[in-house]
Chain A
Amino acid sequence: MVSIKLDNVSLVYKLHEKLTLSAPDRRVAGPGGRIEGSGRKQFVQALDGVSFELKAGDRLGLVGPNGAGKTTLLKVLYGIYEPSAGTVAIEGKVDALFNINIGFRREATGRRNIVLRGLISGWTEAEIEEKMEDIIAFSELGDFIDLPFKAYSQGMAARLAFSAATALDPEILLMDEWIGAGDASFQDKAKRRMDELAEKAGIIVLASHSEALIQSVCTKKMTLRSGRIESFTTEPRTRAGKPASSNPFSGIG
């Protein structure tokens, strides 16, 4: 059964952990997590006592100002960061889209990059082979698929990244804000694919600043502020017949 359960999860970024011969520099306070400590022992409390549960079919929208802890939370869910305290229990195959360029090699062609990306996600060669044409078709990159990745625009890169990440039907899909990079027609396709994914009883967690996107894709909404959950609500979906805007992805990026 696909599920996510976080219990009292905290994450602290320690600064100046490195041993260095140079004098410690001064950090300038900004928005976001709380900066504590001083001199060598500064740290940022990026997540603070976060507990929630998601089950199959849930689509969670993560909102909150810059530095609220959205990206950090997604990376904890993916398993990149081990929480400083608390427990994370995840059932299901997770795939994530954080940064368009991660896992892509500039010099390699789109096709070769799909292979690499697949291997990194733990797919077998047979699975990659089987999905290749689907991924290329979905990305609509046409002949560009055989050009080096460095010749792609950001939007084209986003198409490739999204197509590859969703091709093997991940049970849990995590997405950070950048998903707005594609053009309108691709975003419609992307949204339909996310719907399919959620209908197959998967879980989607999507961080975004776009209220419209969250409303059109998500069934739940969690607001983070300074690493704490400010609110967690179940949203009535507005999408059926009444999209919040004709292009739910606009205004992000």
Chain B
Amino acid sequence: MIAALNGAVDDISKAMKLHRVWIALAHEDIGDQHRRTTLGPLWLLVNYVAFVGTFVFVFQPAGKDAAGYAAYVAIGLLVWFYLMEVMSMSVSLFQREESFIEGTTLPLFVYVMRLALQSAIRAGYAIAGCVVILLLSGPAVTSSWLWSGAGLLLILLVTPAMITVFAFLGAFFPDSQFIVGNLLRVGMFFTPVFWVYNGQGGVQEYAYHWNPFTYFLEIVRLPIMDGELPVHAFTVTIIISLATWAMALLLLGRYRKQVIFII
């Protein structure tokens, strides 16, 4: 246990010393994905705005609920797309990095940070779109928006741990790549991304309270929608984040030298 922790800390601190490597590689990745396109990474923004527009157009409720719905969906999709991209990219992370893992002695956490940074940059374009939608669609700008910022920061901080856990899962249990992919596709309907929970019963009640992603969404959404700090959602998210980090450190410490033998 202690040895595992030491190993994990060693891997992480080596990776932090090599921060130039993952910063450079993450930028290369973004560049490669959009090479020879006219809009470049602005496509990420277009893609996000198109999604929000579609959901608002199709699902906007009539009457008094209509006003905040654009903001509701904009934040919901921002966080959901980010989490979905991180998880679906993570399960195949070590397989994708196979040639680097087999040819260099870079610590595994370098690949984790490379993906974390890449996802953060991509999310940056969606955040720009989200802010514009929020300003246009009307919720009053208050100081509690800062809590939303804190929520985003918390999500960024747990991202490397999430990537680590899912990357080990995908490496040791290859079927999970397909299972996770399918679950994520279905998961959107079981998460309050575009539907609103107003205390109704049935499936939505369970999906709201027992889905960990609900809380990740709500720490960013509630401060802006309700204008106050959602203590419960923050508490749950912090507990989930700490548990994820503990698991990530354990996996990294115990299994990082085995990864090369199984990918």
Contacts and interface: CB of A to CB of B under 8 A. Distances in A.
A75 B32 CA distance: 30
Nearest to A105: B28
Interface residues of B, dominant DSSP: helix
B154 interface: no
B200 interface: no
A155 B63 CA distance: 70
B100 A103 contact: yes
Contact of A18 (B25, B100, B106, B173): B173
A120 B104 CA distance: 8
A200 B154 CA distance: 51
Interface string A99-117: 1011101011000000110
A144 interface: no
B103 interface: yes
Given A20-B174, A78-B105, A99 B21 contact: no
B20 A119 contact: yes
Contacts of A14: 261
Contacts of B173: 18-20
Interface string A1-34: 0000000000001100111110000000000000
A18 B262 CA distance: 7
Contacts of A103: 100, 103-104
Interface residues of A, dominant DSSP: loop
Contacts of A140: none
Nearest to A43: B261
B35 A107 contact: yes
A19 B260 contact: no
Contacts of B28: 105, 107-108, 116
Contact of B105 (A80, A108, A115): A80
Q: Which of A80, A99, A119, A120 is most buried by chain B, counting CB atoms within 10 A of its CB? A: A120
Contact of B261 (A13, A99, A105, A119): A13
B46 to A, nearest CB: 23
Nearest to B106: A120
Contacts of A101: 99
B85 interface: no
Interface residues of B, number: 27
B106 to A, nearest CB: 6
Contacts of A13: 261
A107 B171 CA distance: 27
A129 interface: no
Interface string B26-59: 0010011001000000000000000000000000
Interface residues of A, number: 28
Given A18-B172, A18-B173, A116-B25, A79 B18 contact: no
B257 A82 contact: yes
A195 B260 CA distance: 33
Contact of B260 (A81, A98, A107): A81
A12 B258 CA distance: 12
A125 interface: yes
Q: Which of B105, B106, B172 is most buried by chain A, counting CB atoms within 10 A of its CB? A: B105
B174 A120 contact: no
A14 B260 CA distance: 11
B103 A80 contact: yes
A17 B175 CA distance: 13
Contacts of B228: none
A19 B18 contact: no
Nearest to A81: B260
Nearest 10 Cβ contacts at the A-B interface: A102-B103, A82-B257, A119-B21, A19-B173, A79-B105, A119-B20, A21-B175, A17-B262, A107-B32, A98-B103
Given A80-B104, A81-B261, A108-B28, 5 more contacts: A75-B102, A79-B105, A99-B99, A107-B32, A119-B20
29 contacts: A17-B261, A17-B262, A18-B171, A18-B172, A19-B173, A19-B175, A78-B105, A80-B102, A80-B103, A80-B105, A81-B260, A82-B257, A98-B103, A99-B99, A99-B103, A101-B99, A102-B104, A103-B104, A107-B31, A107-B32, A116-B24, A116-B28, A119-B20, A119-B21, A120-B18, A120-B21, A120-B106, A122-B18, A125-B20
Interface of B: 18, 20-21, 24-25, 28, 31-32, 35, 99-106, 171-175, 257-258, 260-262
